Structure 1
Amino acid sequence: MSARITDARVVVSSPGRNYVTLVVETSDGVVGVGDATLNGRELAVASYLRDHVCPLLLGRDPARIEDTWQYLYKGAYWRRGPVTMTAVAAVDVALWDVKGKVAGLPVYQLLGGASRDGVLVYGHADGRDVPELLDRVEAHLEQGYRAVRIQAAVPGVVGTYGVSKHDGRIYEPASGARPEETTWETTSYLDFAPRVFEAVRDRFGFGVHLLHDVHHRLTPIEAARLGKSLEPYRPFWIEDATPAEDQTAFRTIRAHTTTPLAVGEVLNSVWDVQTLLTERLVDYVRTSVSHTGGISHLRKLYALAELYGVRSGAHGAGDLSPVAHAAALHLDLAIPNFGIQEHMGHRDPAGEVFTSSYSFADGYMHPGEAPGLGVGFDERAAARFPYEPRYLPVARRLDGTLHDW
């Protein structure tokens, strides 16, 4: 008789920030882990898994990954959405972890083997002003990065997205009962952004890839203006230029600029990006393993993207656990249309809870050769870091109107 799932449990912990981890055990003693973290809505996914999914996993064959995926997706009737797809992703990734351990192979080998020697990653550099940003770009280059995301505080705009208050590592607010409120002014930003790129290019030249996150702040024609103004500085991409729900908005942007476009970290299924891909409206799709149904579904999304010349650029901020980052690296290494991988890293005490076999050198990462995902999870250590309520900020325009964050 084949192995069966004997236990599935959810662990919510906060070793520096909140993570939701699914632990799956099988009758032959193999343990797999999946990431179910949804930043700012962690407990919704934890409840979805604990109350509605985990009981359904008991007794199932862990090797039947695709069947389990379809069971949880089609069988739920209420499909898609970030909570559902994050929960399904956690199960899917945990089962791939189990399968790799049973086979004695890293997950990327089960996906067809490596398509490249390493995974190009980009780090985050920000500054409260341009000189500070330049110093942090230099620090990234000294660490070996070949690609850097650049963000700088817009003069007169309080709480500019992507700019840390302290050490350049965390720019989201600390725990609290309510979200922090920031301000936004589009005109100031559109005037300032080209000057930021000009300063970075003047100091470091064109030998480094520069990326920039707009974070859904612009209308389509504003985004087109930004893309056009940045063309002389050759950005690797501008990310999430408009709210991602309206895929057709990118028709306007695409018609006015040749700056590469990336979108997708808040999208959760292949259907959410179908128009973007089939009309070639973006150059990079940024959906993540943990929010897009896991390895099984994201691999299908990337396969569709390949047909239309679109590459991957998966979300990989610190609000996803090392489990998610490892899963992304395995998929990155295997797919033919890989583009780049976000790598913000994880701060201690996360290292007390998670261990990983992935590595970074000369601007590239590799998931390692450990069986499965190559990530260890210490539940006893996780228990020392209880959940802390946290919220993403909200933004208001200078007249008080609530704006996209």
Structure 2
Amino acid sequence: MRIESAETVVTSPGRNFVTLRVVTADGLTGLGDATLNGRELAVASYLRDHVAPLLTGRDARNIEDTWQYLYRGAYWRRGPVTMAAIAAVDTALWDIKAKAAGMPLYQLLGGASRRGALAYGHASGRDVPELLDSVRAHLADGYRAIRVQTGIPGLDSVYGVAASAAGSGERYDYEPARRTAGGPVLPVEETWDTRAYLRHVPSVFEAVREEFGPELPLLHDGHHRMTPIQAAKLGKSLEPYDLFWLEDATPGEDQAALRLIRQHTTTPLAIGEVFNSVHDYTTLLAERLIDYVRSAVTHTGGVTAMKKLLDLAAVYGVRSGMHGPTDISPVGMAAQLHLDLAVHNFGIQEYMRHSPESLEVFRTSWTFDEGLLHPSDAPGLGVDLDLDAAGRFPYEPAYLPVNRLADGTVHDW
């Protein structure tokens, strides 16, 4: 089963996606997601100029060997660009292998461990009443777990808060990567105040619990913005509200920070959406400093690498919570759903619905019912790429925001 071609497709149906399309000599096609939000063209070039020429003529069945060839053979290892490119190749080859077997991918990963994957949605509001409306809307849409983000008094814009209200009818509007209106393509700059945030957030969760009761799983994303002691303070102040997890409380590269947070709070901790290798987790897992792994198949070397990471996490009782906003393309999302169904230590799956334009380009077959996602029983990943539709949406430069404190100091976003 020789690889005949490997094509990199860049398309922007509302936001930018990078997709690798691998075709074998006997006509099987596999898809892989290589989207890196705000740095898409770097990965597209890595694939087109450096990886695709190495794939032609290789046996598509030898997935592990190809993974090692691209990882070890490049000498310069890891990093988000390299690992997203490897992920795209790896996922495409798993798609081909499962299609050749006539099975959904999860069957090749050991079969189903559950009926479906519990998904959480993103409720947000500029103030608490608007947030409560958003939670109601998500519950009406079928979600049975909710991430809660809200505006902070005194700040104009805050990560995680949608641009329009929950009742506006627009459900696809939370995309932080954007352009400066009417000017050059530059990141938007936002202002941040951690003390105001720490004062406000506990009252938000108090209001949500009072309105929706103790049973609804609630999550919150700190988005790397706190020092270790600030994160410990927040985790402790949120303990009465029984969070499912507190995510990315501190910058992920500081492994020691999690020790301090863990010493001071029993709020479960999730981290890792900006990680791209199992090596980012070894200390966190061995010392049991986290409860959930937040990496994405797209950014962590593909299905092969993510399965190994989750198997290692299982040894330490740590569960999955894979990154799943709309900058993970439907191809990457489908790959995660197959892993969600197969691995024993599944925890929860982030799920943001893609825009109608995105679903015109990527034809999906997964289902969302009673709060559970299922990847479908279609052979392979269960996603098709419409090349004609993709061609109607050319790439548009966009960047994630830059964060500054009130005095102008650059801060973590």
TM-score range, shorter chain: over 0.9
The match for 1:108 is 106
1:26–1:319 Cα change, 3 Å: same
TM value normalised by structure 1: 0.99
The match for 1:302 is 310
Once the two structures are superposed, what CA deviation does each residue of 1:284-303 show, in whole Å capped at 9, x if it has no partner? 01000000000000111001
1:175: Cα distance to partner?
A: 3.2
The match for 1:91 is 89
The match for 1:136 is 134
**Which whole-Å CA distance do the structure 2 matches of 1:313 and 1:304 have between them?**
14
1:31–1:179 Cα change, 3 Å: same
1:171: Cα distance to partner?
A: 4.3
Moved over 4 A (4+): none
Matched, 1:76 2:74: yes
The match for 2:376 is 368
The match for 1:258 is 266
Matched, 1:185 2:199: no
Q: Which amino acid aligns with 2:37?
A: N
Q: Which amino acid aligns with 1:70?
A: Q
Q: Which amino acid aligns with 1:62?
A: A
The match for 1:58 is 56
Q: Which amino acid aligns with 1:84?
A: T
Contact 2:38 2:177 in 1 (8 A): no
1:174: Cα distance to partner?
A: 3.0
Residue 252 of structure 2: SS of its match in structure 1? coil
1:357: Cα distance to partner?
A: 1.0
**Which whole-Å CA distance do the structure 2 matches of 1:344 and 1:398 have between them?**
31
Contact 1:310 1:337 in 2 (8 A): yes
The match for 2:167 is none
Residue 124 of structure 1: SS of its match in structure 2? strand
Contact 1:223 1:253 in 2 (8 A): yes
Residue 254 of structure 1: SS of its match in structure 2? helix
Which of 313, 317, 320 is the matching residue for 2:325? 317
**Which whole-Å CA distance do the structure 2 matches of 1:79 and 1:261 have between them?**
28
1:81–1:227 Cα change, 3 Å: same
**Which whole-Å CA distance do the structure 1 matches of 2:115 and 2:43 have between them?**
35
- RMSD of aligned Cα (Å): 0.8
Q: Which runs of 5+ in 1 are unaligned?
A: none
Once the two structures are superposed, what CA deviation does each residue of 1:86-140 show, in whole Å capped at 9, x if it has no partner? 0000000000000011000000000000011110000000001110000010111
Q: Which runs of 5+ in 2 are unaligned?
A: 165-169
**Which whole-Å CA distance do the structure 1 matches of 2:339 and 2:377 have between them?**
14
Contact 1:175 1:388 in 2 (8 A): no
Contact 1:65 1:96 in 2 (8 A): yes
**Which whole-Å CA distance do the structure 2 matches of 1:292 and 1:165 have between them?**
30
Once the two structures are superposed, what CA deviation does each residue of 1:51-90 show, in whole Å capped at 9, x if it has no partner? 0000000000000000000000000000000000000000
Q: Which amino acid aligns with 2:307?
A: R
The match for 1:10 is 8
**Which whole-Å CA distance do the structure 2 matches of 1:42 and 1:267 have between them?**
17
Contact 2:119 2:348 in 1 (8 A): yes
Which of 158, 169, 190 is the matching residue for 1:160? 158
Matched, 1:175 2:179: yes
1:227: Cα distance to partner?
A: 0.2
1:173: Cα distance to partner?
A: 4.5
Residue 388 of structure 2: SS of its match in structure 1? helix
Q: Which amino acid aligns with 2:17?
A: Y
Residue 87 of structure 1: SS of its match in structure 2? helix
Residue 218 of structure 1: SS of its match in structure 2? coil
**Which whole-Å CA distance do the structure 2 matches of 1:256 and 1:34 have between them?**
41
Q: Which amino acid aligns with 1:26?
A: T
Q: Which amino acid aligns with 1:145?
A: Y
Residue 100 of structure 2: SS of its match in structure 1? helix
| Identity score, percent | 65
**Which whole-Å CA distance do the structure 2 matches of 1:377 and 1:278 have between them?**
40
Residue 7 of structure 1: SS of its match in structure 2? strand
The match for 1:211 is 219
Once the two structures are superposed, what CA deviation does each residue of 1:223-280 show, in whole Å capped at 9, x if it has no partner? 0000000000000001000000011110000000000000000000000111111110
Q: Which amino acid aligns with 1:229?
A: S
Residue 349 of structure 1: SS of its match in structure 2? helix
Contact 1:158 1:184 in 2 (8 A): no
**Which whole-Å CA distance do the structure 2 matches of 1:237 and 1:186 have between them?**
19
